[in-house]
Structure 1
Amino acid sequence: MAAHTALPRLDPKQLSVTWQVVNNEYVYENKQMALTELVIANKGTDALPAGGWKIYFNAAGDFVPDATSGNATIEQVNGDLYSITPNANFKAIQPGESGRIEYITKATVVNFTDAIEGPYLVWDAEPAKGYSIGNFVVKPFTPNYIGLVTPEVLYNQNKTIIDIPAEKLTKIIPTPVSYTETGGSFRLQPDVNVVTTHEAYKKEAAGFDAYLKKLFGKRTANKASNNTITLSYKAGLGQEGYELTVKPGAITIAASNNAGVYYGLQSLKILIPPSAVASAPAYAEIPGVNVADAPRFGYRAVMLDVARNFQSKQQVLKLLELMSVYKLNTLHFHLTDDEGWRIELPSLPELTNVASKRGHTLDSKNFLPAGHGSGPDFSNPAGTGHYSKADYIEILKYATERHITVMPEIEAPGHARGAIKAMANRYARLMAAGDKVGAERYLLYSAGDKSDYRSVQYWNDNVMDVALPSTYNYIETVVGDLINIYKEAGAPLPTIHFGGDEVPAGVWEKSPAYLALKKTHPEVKNTGDLWYYFYGRVNDILKKRNIKLAGWEEMALRKTKIDGQDAYVPNPQFANEGMRVDVWNNVLGGGQEDLAYKLANGGFQTVLTCVTNLYFDMANNKSFDEPGYYWGAFLGIDKFYSFIPYDYFKNADVDKNGLPVNRNIFIGKQRLTDYGKTNIVGLQGALWTETVKTPERMDYMIFPKLIALGERAWAQDPAWTTEKDPAKAAAMYNEEWSKFLNVLGKRELPRIAYYNNGYNFRIPKPGVILQDGKYAANVQFPGMVIRYTTDGTEPTASSPVYSSPVSATGAVKFRAFDVKGRGGNVADGVNNAPVM
């Protein structure tokens, strides 16, 4: 259709787009898919023309080409960006009317994050400008699929949880190595005297003083006070170990170093009753205890992706604060990816000038395209944003004060589209200025490279050319700037993470630089050899600066053949280089269930970042109202808590679809050897943020799972993990699981509702079952309040409190609330049995 020469009169803000499921059991080419549709409603006074426009949107799923209602075409632009173009069958939408475009997705719809995101309109007459539409709605959908988690399923899961009186709970979490309540208590008051008998611990004492001032609203330290907290040195307690004694009038914390005394103080803070955190009290009673403690793993990490969707400095500081409370000591900071570059580097300003911004662009020359629903302009803080050098230094100082190391991740060679486009912008600018040498210094792609590939996220131009010398100039410069920033902050930089994941087949094959490199480097016989060439050089760059190299699992693998089939084995070239690898891929049924154990047995320092148990961004369960992806697993807090690092096969119970796992998948898989155990350096929870657009959603996905991560990374191996009798192991597990849930519901969630201005943690949906004409309800966290309504409205913080089964007359709804009156997802009182 010919482009219009003048812009239509319709204001795009007068359009409303609704996404909805038409048929989730649609059969197309003998496969079950989903028939969905967009409803475009015109609420303006002018018509939406029959043509002369496109709607752009983002989507994680793939579409059947041309399988639409016949009035439009859907095409992929690049990555997760798509366009809809009306054809000759599309009818103009008059004021007050609506039009529909049906299309087929290649998979069924599971939850609301399967919907499209961020639709915006572009007129053909003005192709370089995008216009936000007035409203976008995802219509609620009640699915009917295998494994659906209904309120009845939740009820049956929750009914095994034992309600334990608060006074019988261990009052420190993560669980200490040794914990004894001794009776009596210490009265903590604003005038408490904090004494350090070891000069080096004054910084920790000052930090605790600041906490007390926040807690009480004032601090009146009194050296004559009868109540004293003493921080003292004691040899032999290890890197992060401590001893804590609380008795009337005296608290003593002993440790062998600053980290140990800091964690002793964190345990002391946890002993403070959560009610004291809610409002400035006159005093707080701390129970008498004897504690001896040290971590199980020295590396206890959270990976936060701020490239896909940006999070503010303040939100990062909030995460660091709660990481420190639950004794996690590493922030793996995923700062760069295809969709964004988020840290200012003085030597390469284009990285943030170009790649920290997302909006409507057809060429990515000056900024990146809309991604993950970020829309047509820079106004969306999830799509556009970065940390200035000063911001990043503030983050580093804040983390260092809390004994947290911040490990930056600079993705290479894949997941690098942001950097590639930024350096292309630099090239164009300097070439225009006549500086050819300067222009080519940091170029990351070869002109004339016709290699054809698609990454897992559908990009066709997101891999650096590792055969180019300029790629290594870029890496040297990035590393140099990072070192300088960390030095200025006084923060340690022992490791830099260089990604290495998901480089697709087909890259580099037609690169002029690769073809030239082969002639001068006989060790490079094919594109597979470029992998070892690249990481060998990156490792050398870091070794010169006394920095260790870390990466995702692919960095440590070498491609080979077994019985003529492609296979990957631990790469002996890197095994003794001290590299650390984060292993995520243990998808049950995917064939790589034992990859982490292979690498650990093969000599690599291995961090377990297993998608089956430790991914914050996976949906909590299989329900339409639960956000998050689910390609690897459905992953509630139980998966974090039940993770067995040295034998995660043992209690793997359901597959990625939430169905009982076929244990035959473990036949022939490598088990972890005693030598391999020495190479499991720790655990890491990971938040990828494709579906995380706001601070509230970030809190929802991470908390309270982070507390379970802290428990599993710090606390000693529970007895149920090694019990050989399955029935005994199950009983032991349920007892400890119940204790943990009671600690959460009665102590920790009431605490973090107010701590540090409060966290928007996930409040679980109640379980509901119909019995004898009445609805019974329960909730996963004992101590939480359930409220209900009988008139079909959503329960609020003032609705009646559930205390006994409710008559099943009327439209009954149930909802759980935290101590601040925040409500979770609503459970309808209907007898929704799971589909079998």
Structure 2
Amino acid sequence: MNQLKSSLLLMLALGLGTSAVHAQKLQVKWDFASGYNHNDNRLLKLTLVNTDQKAIHLDAYNLWFNSMYPIENTGGNKATFNDQSGNLYRVDFNAGTTLQVKDSLVLHYKSLYPITHTSLTPNGFYLKSKGQTSEIINLDPVEVTALHVTAQEENAQLSALFAKNSLLYKGTPQPILPMPASFKMNNGSFKVGKIWGVYEDPQLNLSQQSGYDLAFRTLDVAGVKGPKNGSDVRVLQNADLASEAYELRIDKSGIEIQTSTAAGAFYAIQSLISLATAEQLQGKSELSFPYVEIKDAPRFAYRGFMMDISRNFKELSVLKKYVDLLASYKLNKFHLHFIDDEGWRLEIPSLPELTEIGSNRSGSFQDGNTIPPAYGSGGHAVGKNYLSKKEFQELLEYAADRFVTIIPEIESPGHGRAAIKAMETRYNRLMKAGKQKEAEEFLLYEAADKSVYNSAQNWRDNVMNPALPSVYRFMDVVLDDIKKMYEEVGLELKLVSLGGDEVPAGSWEKSPAVQELMKKEGMSTVYEVWPYYVKKLHEICASKGMDMAGWEEFGMVNKGQGMVVNEELAHLNLHLDVWNNVIGGGQEDLAYKLANAGYKTVFTSSANYYLDMVWDKDFREPGLKWASITDLYQSYALLPDAFFANMKHMDAGKKLEDAYLAKKVRLTEKGRSNLIGLKAALWAETVLTADRLDYMILPRLFALAERAWAPKEAWEGEQTFDQAKFEKAYRNFAHKVGSQELPKLDKLHGGFKYRLPSVGVMAEKGSIHANVEYPGFKIVYTLDGSNPTSSSQEFPSGGIQAKNGMVVKLATVDANGRIGRISTYTR
């Protein structure tokens, strides 16, 4: 009894027991501090509010949260902020800090960088008890106050948007997205019913392709076998055509497709779907197709999209939906970023710890059985956050049926913390069991390494050590397991990405193992370790019959003055995803340099195709902005082999002078042959949900599809560039996207929560006018201060009368009643 009494007294002294229940009633509010500005006063504040009926003893807990940007503690007499590495921070409350009933506590801190958008605000708040470490209390959602914008500032922004939107006036939707290599429209149309007679050349084996069948189902028609002559649809083999090429002819005799492969037939059907209007696919009008003659083949063999599912996991059903989307717009490479510091998302049967440890984030990470919370994941582990072997194989087969190749990425040697910590836990377990040799087999770090570095995401222990044989043993086993997953479903792993991105300065400099390696190999500087590592990985891939891909650094080397192109490894047939062309960053021509040197280059332009970037400067827009501010126009503006031709017309390119651009490297003929494709990328630091994924990707992905497949235009060159022709092409593209392709998504893929266009506003001659970023959406508005809904009054095309003091709130609405971002114009 005395022992129980003592325990209760201890719990009360620590503020535990009943206080733990009341800590769940702690509300967190985030705001800019008084006088905040982006340049010299980045003071921010957290307000903690006790919404319960009893006091909360804050000194019994630590408050934890994630911050996208590094922060500085400003001091104070109540608490201190402590950097816990990565983007995790801990608040320590001073002894005696208690939050009384209905009381609040304000804590200030500074951001090292401006907080310009909502995704840059902190998230993932939780309390963790000091006395009972298993007691973790999530505190989300957090109330965030947006950056204040005056009415005059918002009016100016809306007027600028109106002017930019005006570019879209008088557009005509292009007939197909992406546009074919050759397109001729003839007079007349072919009307079809719900049952089609279909002849398929048996040489094409189309009956084996469920994706091909799905394409027909999208048109809501049933196909029955018919004769070669007289069927509504005739799919014929033409061995003279390239593997993805097709010819499509529609006339009074019906629809004829010629192709050498099932892939070509599939892409022809996608063009047929694109020819149909949204109204026809929705059953609102009779299905018919114009008479056309099309000869088509892709501009680039590699047409890709990279999705990061490591930072914030996305389940199999989401990935399948995106396979369907990619295939529908003739994109053929789905690069999955499985591995990073914050998560390992693919089951590796030979090393179960990778997902047992590396896929789980929780506030109990100090015990080594999970990894730290990141990017708003909160304090509680949330179950299985990885693809099992069975699920991955299901995805492989699903994608192959739609002519999409899954390219797995195993990030190394940087961005490797999830793997490092998982293998460290394995090492500790086996060492405890007295199995030293087995424990060291897959160790990825060197305990004696005292190197000091800080990664781009603020990690200081996330780089594998390339001097350890166990690192290569690890990569060998992981690749064997993944290769077997492909082989077991009848596929071949031909290309694998092994990362290579962002190894921080300072890595390996104080590693005894690296010093020994350098001595053994006759290296004079630690920089030579990098190409050594690249060659070792290449040997592993080559031994398994795989080509090796990675980020641009695999084709670069530091010779003491920063990373430059490494000519010596160009013969290895490395495939490089080149992202670093931030406009004004000095590397705008890096993709061309690497292609000219002989590397197989996939232009993954961060200035145009990083789809985790914000759409515009409005605080409410999600995403990051370090690479660019990227709307649909900016994505469309990339000219793959003439990047500098229209740079002055991109928002981010206006600051660059002709003299600066003249010094940049252009593609040679050799380089042009090595520029094998384009890829967009979606990094998931700010993408916690599937709905947010849709919002960030669409409609910008359509611009990638257009550039990767459609032929090069005559005006796509520095000497031939014509802004008027470019803008006409953009108008027609944007009209196709807004009025046709976005509305089709509900029918095609079960629905996407794509971004709705924002409304621009202009006051002129006593009237207020409004327009949208891409057409096809109704504008609704209110005048009573309430936010518009789907049932609000439609804004008239001729505008409304302007009256002094009036406040107009406007937004777009889609067919499902979703409302876009609200524009508020004050007269």
Give 1:151's aligned residue: 158
Counterpart amino acid of residue 589 in structure 2: D
Deviates more, 1:509-518 or 1:299-308: 509-518
Tell me how far apart the structure 1 counterparts of residues 669 and 817 of structure 2 sit (CA, whole Å). Answer: 49
Deviates more, 1:403-412 or 1:124-133: 124-133
Tell me how far apart the structure 2 counterparts of residues 718 and 308 of structure 1 sit (CA, whole Å). Answer: 38
Structure 1 position 653, deviation (Å): 3.1
Contact 2:809 / 2:822 at 8 angstroms: preserved in 1? yes
Contact 2:334 / 2:406 at 8 angstroms: preserved in 1? yes
Question: Against the structure 1 CA distance between its residues 24 and 395, is the aligned structure 2 distance closer, same or farther, given a 3 Å change threshold?
Answer: farther
Give 2:490's aligned residue: 490
3-state SS of paired residue (1:410): strand
Q: Could you tell me which of 330, 335, 339 is aligned with 1:332? A: 335
Give 2:770's aligned residue: 777
Tell me how far apart the structure 2 counterparts of residues 135 and 722 of structure 1 sit (CA, whole Å). Answer: 49
Give 2:571's aligned residue: 576
Tell me how far apart the structure 1 counterparts of residues 144 and 231 of structure 2 sit (CA, whole Å). Answer: 58
Residues 690-709 of structure 1: pairs in structure 2 closer than 5 A: 690-709=685-704
Structure 1 position 262, deviation (Å): 1.5
Give 1:834's aligned residue: none
Residues 87-126 of structure 1: pairs in structure 2 closer than 5 A: 87=94, 91-126=97-132
Question: Against the structure 1 CA distance between its residues 611 and 364, is the aligned structure 2 distance closer, same or farther, given a 3 Å change threshold?
Answer: farther
Tell me how far apart the structure 2 counterparts of residues 295 and 501 of structure 1 sit (CA, whole Å). Answer: 29
Structure 1 position 515, deviation (Å): 2.8
3-state SS of paired residue (1:754): helix
Give 1:420's aligned residue: 420
Contact 1:420 / 1:444 at 8 angstroms: preserved in 2? yes
3-state SS of paired residue (1:450): coil
Tell me how far apart the structure 2 counterparts of residues 206 and 474 of structure 1 sit (CA, whole Å). Answer: 37
The answer to whether structure 1 residue 230 and structure 2 residue 223 are counterparts is no
Structure 1 position 689, deviation (Å): 0.5
Structure 1 position 663, deviation (Å): 4.4
Unaligned runs of 5+ in 1: 832-836
Give 2:539's aligned residue: 540
Structure 1 position 654, deviation (Å): 7.2
Structure 1 position 222, deviation (Å): 6.1
Structure 1 position 159, deviation (Å): 1.2
Give 1:376's aligned residue: 379
Tell me how far apart the structure 2 counterparts of residues 742 and 656 of structure 1 sit (CA, whole Å). Answer: 21
Structure 1 position 530, deviation (Å): 1.4
Give 2:47's aligned residue: 39
Contact 2:209 / 2:402 at 8 angstroms: preserved in 1? no
Unaligned runs of 5+ in 2: 1-9
The share of aligned pairs that are identical, in percent, is: 35
Contact 2:714 / 2:720 at 8 angstroms: preserved in 1? no
Counterpart amino acid of residue 691 in structure 1: T
Counterpart amino acid of residue 533 in structure 1: Y
Tell me how far apart the structure 2 counterparts of residues 664 and 12 of structure 1 sit (CA, whole Å). Answer: 61
Contact 1:618 / 1:635 at 8 angstroms: preserved in 2? yes
The answer to whether structure 1 residue 821 and structure 2 residue 817 are counterparts is yes
Structure 1 position 721, deviation (Å): 1.9
Residues 529-568 of structure 1: pairs in structure 2 closer than 5 A: 529-561=528-560, 566-568=561-563
Give 2:723's aligned residue: 730
Residues 223-372 of structure 1: pairs in structure 2 closer than 5 A: 223=226, 227-279=231-283, 284-363=287-366, 365-372=368-375
The alignment's TM-score, normalised by the length of structure 2, stands at 0.94
Tell me how far apart the structure 2 counterparts of residues 808 and 658 of structure 1 sit (CA, whole Å). Answer: 36
Structure 1 position 595, deviation (Å): 1.2
Counterpart amino acid of residue 392 in structure 2: Y
Counterpart amino acid of residue 186 in structure 2: T
The answer to whether structure 1 residue 162 and structure 2 residue 169 are counterparts is yes
The answer to whether structure 1 residue 668 and structure 2 residue 663 are counterparts is yes
Tell me how far apart the structure 2 counterparts of residues 74 and 648 of structure 1 sit (CA, whole Å). Answer: 44
3-state SS of paired residue (2:724): helix
Structure 1 position 534, deviation (Å): 1.2
Contact 1:413 / 1:499 at 8 angstroms: preserved in 2? yes
Structure 1 position 511, deviation (Å): 2.0
3-state SS of paired residue (2:366): coil
Give 2:801's aligned residue: 807
Tell me how far apart the structure 2 counterparts of residues 54 and 127 of structure 1 sit (CA, whole Å). Answer: 10
Contact 1:588 / 1:655 at 8 angstroms: preserved in 2? no
Task: Write out per-residue CA displacement over residues 216-270 of structure 1, whole angstroms, 9 at most, x where no aligned residue.
Answer: 3x73626489652111111322121100011234211111222212211111122
Question: Against the structure 1 CA distance between its residues 827 and 572, is the aligned structure 2 distance closer, same or farther, given a 3 Å change threshold?
Answer: same
Counterpart amino acid of residue 452 in structure 1: V
Contact 2:595 / 2:601 at 8 angstroms: preserved in 1? yes
The answer to whether structure 1 residue 758 and structure 2 residue 735 are counterparts is no
Greater helix fraction, Structure 1 or Structure 2: 2
Give 1:82's aligned residue: 89
Tell me how far apart the structure 2 counterparts of residues 453 and 570 of structure 1 sit (CA, whole Å). Answer: 23
Tell me how far apart the structure 2 counterparts of residues 771 and 147 of structure 1 sit (CA, whole Å). Answer: 16
3-state SS of paired residue (1:355): coil
3-state SS of paired residue (1:438): helix
Contact 1:68 / 1:104 at 8 angstroms: preserved in 2? no
Tell me how far apart the structure 1 counterparts of residues 236 and 588 of structure 2 sit (CA, whole Å). Answer: 46
Give 1:447's aligned residue: 447
Question: Against the structure 1 CA distance between its residues 129 and 473, is the aligned structure 2 distance closer, same or farther, given a 3 Å change threshold?
Answer: farther
Structure 1 position 772, deviation (Å): 3.1
Contact 1:345 / 1:389 at 8 angstroms: preserved in 2? yes
The number of residues matched between the two structures is 810
Contact 1:764 / 1:816 at 8 angstroms: preserved in 2? yes
Residues 135-146 of structure 1: pairs in structure 2 closer than 5 A: 135-143=141-149
Q: What's the Cα RMSD here?
A: 2.4
Structure 1 position 296, deviation (Å): 0.7
3-state SS of paired residue (1:684): strand
Counterpart amino acid of residue 558 in structure 2: K
Counterpart amino acid of residue 464 in structure 2: M
Tell me how far apart the structure 2 counterparts of residues 505 and 35 of structure 1 sit (CA, whole Å). Answer: 29
Tell me how far apart the structure 2 counterparts of residues 374 and 546 of structure 1 sit (CA, whole Å). Answer: 38
Counterpart amino acid of residue 32 in structure 1: D
Give 2:31's aligned residue: 20
The answer to whether structure 1 residue 739 and structure 2 residue 732 are counterparts is yes
Tell me how far apart the structure 2 counterparts of residues 466 and 723 of structure 1 sit (CA, whole Å). Answer: 43
Q: Could you tell me which of 59, 68, 84 is aligned with 2:67? A: 59
Structure 1 position 604, deviation (Å): 0.9
Contact 1:364 / 1:421 at 8 angstroms: preserved in 2? no
Structure 1 position 128, deviation (Å): 5.1
Counterpart amino acid of residue 9 in structure 1: T
Tell me how far apart the structure 1 counterparts of residues 820 and 128 of structure 2 sit (CA, whole Å). Answer: 38
Tell me how far apart the structure 1 counterparts of residues 70 and 650 of structure 2 sit (CA, whole Å). Answer: 22
Deviates more, 1:355-364 or 1:205-214: 205-214
Contact 1:204 / 1:262 at 8 angstroms: preserved in 2? no
3-state SS of paired residue (1:576): helix
Contact 1:148 / 1:623 at 8 angstroms: preserved in 2? no
Tell me how far apart the structure 2 counterparts of residues 576 and 535 of structure 1 sit (CA, whole Å). Answer: 13
Contact 1:240 / 1:257 at 8 angstroms: preserved in 2? yes
Counterpart amino acid of residue 332 in structure 2: N
Tell me how far apart the structure 2 counterparts of residues 226 and 480 of structure 1 sit (CA, whole Å). Answer: 51
Tell me how far apart the structure 1 counterparts of residues 405 and 554 of structure 2 sit (CA, whole Å). Answer: 22
Contact 1:12 / 1:134 at 8 angstroms: preserved in 2? no
Question: Against the structure 1 CA distance between its residues 730 and 353, is the aligned structure 2 distance closer, same or farther, given a 3 Å change threshold?
Answer: same
Contact 1:209 / 1:219 at 8 angstroms: preserved in 2? no
The answer to whether structure 1 residue 187 and structure 2 residue 205 are counterparts is no
3-state SS of paired residue (2:696): helix
